[in-house]
Amino acid sequence: MRQKIHSYIGFAKRSRDLVSGFTGCVNNMEKGKINLLLIASDTAESTMEKLLRAAETSKTPFRICLTQDILSEMAGSPGRGVFGITNKSLAGAILHEIDQDGPDALEQEGLNV
């Protein structure tokens, strides 16, 4: 499952459907361009609250998963802990992978939802 998510994030980056960083994601959520927000589980609490509030306001689906190191390595953007997927199909595929096996399977792979 983790390998598929890694591939989908790579596709999103290559097709320019990946937004990274707090400001970029919040601005694009306000414009309705983000179809999925991925937040690292080790994101600072105050930042996490702001991101969740922005996602709720803009009705953007989000998942809290992986760590900042793993997410940023998958996206090829070191030091980033939040990523937005703008492509609806890729967002749906990533959501499906994260949600399909439930929290127990994700926990076994070291993921949080």
Distance CA 94, CA 85 (A): 9
Q: Please give the C-alpha separations between residue 67 and each of 27, 49, 98, in angstroms, as whole numbers.
A: 23, 17, 14
Cβ proximity of 43 and 91 under 8 Å: no
- The model's pTM: 0.86
* Per-residue pLDDT tens over the stretch 38-90: 999 999 999 999 999 999 999 999 999 888 998 989 888 888 999 999 999 99
Cβ proximity of 19 and 34 under 8 Å: yes
CATH for the 2-108 domain, from 2.130.10.10, 3.30.1330.30, 3.40.50.10780, 3.30.365.10: 3.30.1330.30
